[in-house]
Copies of this chain bind each other. A is one copy, B any other.
Amino acid sequence: MKILVTGFDPFGGDKINPAIEAVKRLPAEINGAEIIKLEIPTVFNKSAEVVKKAIEKEKPDYVLNVGQAGGRFGLTPERVAININDGRIPDNEGYQPLGEPIHEDGETAYFTQLPIKAEAKAIRDAGLPASVSNTAGTYVCNHIMYQVQYMRDKEFPNIKAGFIHIPFLPEQVVNRPNTPSMALGDIVKGLTAALSAIVERDGKGDIKSVEGANH
């Protein structure tokens, strides 16, 4: 089994992005699956082109995109990607869409094929906070999650794909009072646990457990 794991480059004034830093430090093999690592730009559309090329070249069974969610307390596997680009800030090439569909002919949303409840449980079992998230936002993180699902819908029907958001690193919150963070080593440990759960649940679907949100 082959899993393509991507991480974004820094954006929004930060000089480091824990996503690509953590992805770089993943082991080459997790639970028997080969891990292919890829850095992608925090840029609408271009990020998708980079992922698409890697899918064509590597032919992975799974794609996991990883992105920073500054302000979240734990690792959060994402349930759904929605068909909207609505930037709070411009992307790394200065483009800031304000409420446009990603693809006119795409679904309003796509659910991930990944076992998000099993991932969250595996991360917690590794001693780290985690919960299922029901929004990946409306910026480049949601964008890439949607784009990979759109590719799956139109071109690569055998791929299973999803997204995990991760917190800031401690060094990123030194001047951001009352903002949570997680050590890089722990993010790597949490992602490894999630990837291991993805392999373990292959062909079995997700576990059935309480991970819902009142709102």
Chain A positions near chain B (C-beta within 8 angstroms) = 12, 67-74, 79-80, 82, 84, 86-89, 96, 98-99, 107-111, 117, 124, 127-131, 133-139, 141-142, 165, 170-171, 173-183, 185-186, 206, 208-215
Pairs A-B, 3 closest by C-beta atoms: A109-B109, A86-B212, A183-B183
- Which residue in B107, B128, B208, B215 is a CB contact (below 8 Å) of A137? B215
CB < 8 Å: which of B138, B141, B185 contacts A183? Answer: B185
* Residues from chain B with Cβ under 8 Å of A171 in the complex: 127-128
Interface of A is mostly: loop
Is B135 a contact of A135 with CB atoms below 8 Å?
A: yes
Report how far A36 CA is from B107 CA in the complex, Å.
Answer: 33
The chain B residue with its CB closest to the CB of A176 is B129
A179's contact among B67, B73, B215, by CB below 8 Å, is which? B73
Q: Smallest CB-CB separation from A163: which chain B residue? A: B215
The interface residues of chain B lying within 8 Å CB-to-CB of A130 are 174
- Pairs across A and B, CB under 8 Å, 30 listed: A12-B214, A70-B214, A70-B215, A73-B173, A73-B177, A73-B181, A79-B138, A80-B82, A88-B210, A88-B211, A88-B214, A89-B214, A98-B212, A99-B117, A99-B208, A107-B109, A108-B110, A108-B111, A109-B109, A124-B175, A128-B170, A129-B173, A129-B176, A129-B179, A129-B181, A135-B215, A141-B215, A182-B183, A183-B183, A183-B186
Q: A88-B212, A124-B174, A139-B213 are in contact. Are A206 and B134 (CB under 8 A)?
A: no
Complex Cα gap A178–B128 (Å): 12
Residues of B within 8 Å of A181, CB to CB, are 73, 129, 180, 182
